[in-house]
Amino acid sequence: MEKTFIMIKPDGIERRLMGEIIGRIEKKGFRITKAELKNPTRELVEDHYVEHKEKPFFEELVEYISGKTVMAMEVEGDNVIEVMRFMIGHRDPKLAIPGTIRGDFANKLTENIIHGSDSPTSAERELKLWFNH
Ligand SMILES: Nc1nc2c(ncn2[C@@H]2O[C@H](COP(=O)(O)OP(=O)(O)O)[C@@H](O)[C@H]2O)c(=O)[nH]1
Ligand SMILES: [Mg+2]
């Protein structure tokens, strides 16, 4: 069964959206096989977002997550990587369709509630990074 890495970002936790998001994942029929509240180090967040290291928003992105409370999850199901990306919605709040998590709750580019792995390679890498440290 396919697995993906999902993280409820600090603004999702602060806005008390954890239950709403977990509810959507469960109602879709996916199984949450690991879930842990964590306060990731800067090193872990930099590694997680290594693909964006050269982007102008990298520092803001790392600062927003490092040392804050997030919920790290392993979620399992058929085509879960692609389906969770649809359920999460576009990173740009102008393009995030209502009915998606970002479409319903996010209105900023950096603070956008939730992360989900974008491919099988990313899912494997991110699950290792967050759960086998
Ligand atoms: N400030 C700012 N943040 C961004 C921008 N693009 C992406 N981000 C942040 O960086 C994260 C990772 O970007 P990306 O991998 O492109 O999007 P995702 O896979 O949909 O989360 C996003 O979820 C946002 O939190 C941008 O242009 N400006
Ligand atoms: Mg991404």
The predicted model gives 95-121 an average pLDDT of 97
Which residues are found with C-beta within 5 Å of the ion, ligand 2? 118
**pLDDT value at position 131?**
97
- Return contacts of 47-52, CB within 8 angstroms, 24+ apart: 47/129, 48/126, 48/129, 48/130
Tokens coding 101: 């998590």
**Residues paired with 75 in a beta bridge:** 4, 32
CA angle 27/15/88 to nearest 5° reads 45
User: What is d(CA 6, CA 126) in angstroms, rounded to the nearest whole number?
Assistant: 9
pLDDT over 80 at 133, yes or no = no
115 is annotated as an active-site residue: yes
What CATH code is carried by the domain that includes residue 122?
3.30.70.141
Tokens coding 10: 């600090």
Paired sense of beta strands 70-76 and 31-38, if any: antiparallel
- Per DSSP, the three-state class of 61 is helix
Distance 113 CA to ligand 1 centre (A): 11
- Number of domain units in the chain: 1
**Among all ligands shown, which has an atom nearest to the Cα of 60?**
1
Q: State the DSSP H helix or E strand holding residue 70, giving kind and residue range, or none if neither.
A: strand 70-76
115 CB near ligand 1 (under 6 Å): yes
Q: Does the predicted model carry a pTM greater than 0.85?
A: yes
Binned at pLDDT 50, 70 and 90, residue 45 comes out as very high
Distance 120 CA to ligand 1 centre (A): 19
Domain that holds residue 57: 3-131
Q: Whose CA is nearest to atom 6 of ligand 1?
A: 109
Give one word for 67, left, alpha or beta, with left for phi > 0 and alpha for psi -120 to 50: left
The predicted model gives 77-81 an average pLDDT of 98
User: What is d(CA 133, CA 129) in angstroms, rounded to the nearest whole number?
Assistant: 6
122 CB near ligand 1 (under 6 Å): no
